[in-house]
């Protein structure tokens, strides 16, 4: 019997896009075995490092990837609700240890993932140490992504 789907963060989106991602094997196994719920906002967040790493040409290829993403079997793109956005800002205000970085920048993308995680209750697949720790404190289940060897 197949367990319920797993909520994926932006690292999962990155792993789906880049064939040489160190987490690709684990993410594909989760997709195949359980299904993935990917917040739509992760598509936007992933665009930043894709552009920084590879430039505008790669960003154009990423657009084609995004256009085909809804066709992937076992993958569901999850929209944010307004209350998720409000909760994300609340988390950043009340939990700065998790959602404000060392330079004082808000990590609102992580806070949005945390808000969805709370609402959906699905396990979160991530390599983000702070998100895992946040989930542990809230009684939320996390799946630590494993690197390929």
**Each residue of 93-125: pLDDT tens digit?**
999 999 999 999 999 999 999 999 999 999 999
Q: Which domain holds residue 29?
A: 6-79+121-144
- Cβ-Cβ contacts under 8 Å for 85 (sequence gap 6 or more): 112, 115
What 8-state DSSP symbol labels residue 100? B
Cα distance between residue 77 and residue 139, in whole Å: 24
pTM of the model: 0.94
Task: Go through the chain and tell me how many residues it has.
Answer: 149
User: Residue 39: inside a domain, yes or no?
Assistant: yes
- Residue 42 sits in a domain whose CATH number is 3.40.50.1010
Q: How many CA atoms lie within 13 A of 83 on its CB side?
A: 5
Residue 12, pLDDT > 50, answer yes
The encoded tokens of residue 129 equal 């140490």
Please state the φ and ψ torsions of residue 38, each to the nearest 5 degrees. Answer: -115, 120
Number of domains in the chain: 1
């Amino acid at each position: 019997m197949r367990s319920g789907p797993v909520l994926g963060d932006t690292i999962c989106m990155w792993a789906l896009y880049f064939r040489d991602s160190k987490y690709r094997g684990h993410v594909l196994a989760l997709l195949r075995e359980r299904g993935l719920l990917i917040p739509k906002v992760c598509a936007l967040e992933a665009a930043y490092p894709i552009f920084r790493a590879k430039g505008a040409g790669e960003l154009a290829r990423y657009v084609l990837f995004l256009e085909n993403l809804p066709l992937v079997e076992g993958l569901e793109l999850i929209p944010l609700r307004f209350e998720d956005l409000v909760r994300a800002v609340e988390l950043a205000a009340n939990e700065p240890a998790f959602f404000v970085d060392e330079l004082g920048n808000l990590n609102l993308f992580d806070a949005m993932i945390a808000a969805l995680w709370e609402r959906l209750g699905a396990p979160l697949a991530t390599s983000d140490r702070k998100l895992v720790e946040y989930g542990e404190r809230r009684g939320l289940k996390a799946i630590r992504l494993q690197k390929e060897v």
